[in-house]
Amino acid sequence: MYILAVVFWFFSFRKARGLSEKQIPLMASLTAMFFAAQMMNYPIVGGTTAHLLGGPILAITMGPYLGVISMTIILLIQALFFGDGGITTFGANVWNMGIVGTFVPFMIYRLTPHITSTQRGKFAGVFLGALMGDVLAALCAGLELGLSSTFPYGVPIAAAAMVTHHAIIGVGEGVITVGIILALQKARPDLLQLPKLAPSWLGGSWDDVK
Amino acid sequence: MSSKSLIAACIVLSLLFVTTGAVWFSYSAETLDEVAGQFGIVESRIWNPPFPDYEIPSLRGNVLAGIIVGFVFVMVILGVTFAVGRFLVRTSRM
């Protein structure tokens, strides 16, 4: 997992050099805000907890490369200062929340308007992207937990538990992501027009999504 | 809305999240840790963090201390991300 994370860090830092000065306040504000949001752990049935990720809004507003960098900052500070997530699991957490949790929402957000071209379709893509980002990140975590020798249950139980519970939080993540996009569209539409730092086949700005 | 207002709005929301997290969804009430303990899974650390479970070690269970720690680190992350962003913009000009 560390190796996969290193590969994505390499490409993210290289591609993120196209960052605009105007994007820095948005990147910093959202990163700080979702660090705070991750402090809210919601107890869910079966002894597990879930929390908002923040990856979807970071990826959709700025592109997944900046999303990876922002999520890495959050996860690194959580691991180093709070023992949350941990050092040995850092690579896995970056993969789950930083890479899957940013690239999946961004891909769905970019591809949904090809199915439906209305404004509602665009927001449906944002919601679905955030939901699926959380669910697939949780699925990855479930697979990793299930394959771990210290976890008493196998992959099916761990994966099912993680996916089911995080589907609930994914709905919340979707609503919050759509809410922030709507607020930005009203208050700072210029920030949504800036090019997203993403693989070229997924790039473009908010208005390019027709 | 200026960039300063955007940052101010996010700081206010962050304070709300930190307070809600510390008061109602405390990390110390981490049920996953409790269940893991019931199965005999013991946490082993290779690194001793200064604020384990978002608390000041000498003030464990103190909600206000948890809020202050959370808020201070919101500001730290704001600063670190700004610095990383500026670094990326500067290196792109080279």
Distance CA A72, CA A66 (A): 10
Interchain CB distance below 8 Å, B91 and A17: yes
- The residue type of A180 is I
Say if residues A69 and B87 touch (Cβ distance below 8 Å).
no
Quote ipTM for the complex. Answer: 0.85
Q: Which residues of A touch B47 (CB under 8 A)?
A: 79-80, 83, 86-87
Q: Which residues of A touch B45 (CB under 8 A)?
A: 83, 86
Chain B segment 17-56 residues within 8 A of A by beta carbon are 17-18, 20-22, 24-27, 29-32, 34-35, 39, 41, 45-54
Q: Which tokens in the block code for residue B71?
A: 């808020």
Residue A204, class by beta-carbon neighbours within 10 Å (0-12 exposed, 13-18 middle, 19+ buried)?
A: middle
Say if residues A205 and A86 touch (Cβ distance below 8 Å).
no
Of B15, B21, B52, the CB nearest to A82: B52
For chain B, which residues make up each domain, given as ranges? 3-93
Asked if B60 has any chain A CB less than 8 Å from its own CB, the reply is no
CA distance B62 to chain A (A): 16
- Work out the number of other CB atoms within 10 angstroms of the CB of residue B11: 18
Residue A208 included in any domain? no
| pLDDT tens digit sequence for A75-126 | 999 999 988 877 888 999 999 999 999 999 999 998 887 787 788 888 999 9
Per-residue confidence at A60, pLDDT binned at 50, 70, 90?
A: very high
Chain A segment 128-147 residues within 8 A of B by beta carbon are none
The domain total for chain A is 1
Residue A83 included in any domain? yes
Residue A183 included in any domain? yes
Interchain CB distance below 8 Å, A32 and B85: no
Of A25, A32, A83, the CB nearest to B74: A32
Interchain CB distance below 8 Å, A73 and B52: no
Q: What is the CA radius of gyration of chain A?
A: 16
Per-residue confidence at A58, pLDDT binned at 50, 70, 90?
A: very high
Of B18, B32, B49, the CB nearest to A83: B49
Per-residue confidence at A48, pLDDT binned at 50, 70, 90?
A: low
Domain containing A64 equals: 2-15+22-194
Of B27, B48, B89, the CB nearest to A19: B89
What integer pLDDT is reported at residue B26 of this predicted model?
A: 60
Distance CA A29, CA A68 (A): 15
Residue A204 included in any domain? no
Buried/exposed code over A6-38 (b: 16+ C-beta within 10 A; e: otherwise)? eebbeebbebbbbbbeebbbbbbbbbbbbbbbb
What integer pLDDT is reported at residue B23 of this predicted model?
A: 79
Of B1, B17, B34, the CB nearest to A188: B1
Residue A206 included in any domain? no
Interchain CB distance below 8 Å, A39 and B10: no
CATH of the domain at A67: 1.10.1760.20
List Cβ neighbours of B40 (8 Å cut-off, separation of 6 or more). Answer: none
pLDDT of residue A208 exceeding 60 = no
Residue A201 included in any domain? no
What integer pLDDT is reported at residue A190 of this predicted model?
A: 87
Residue A202 included in any domain? no
Residue A49 included in any domain? yes
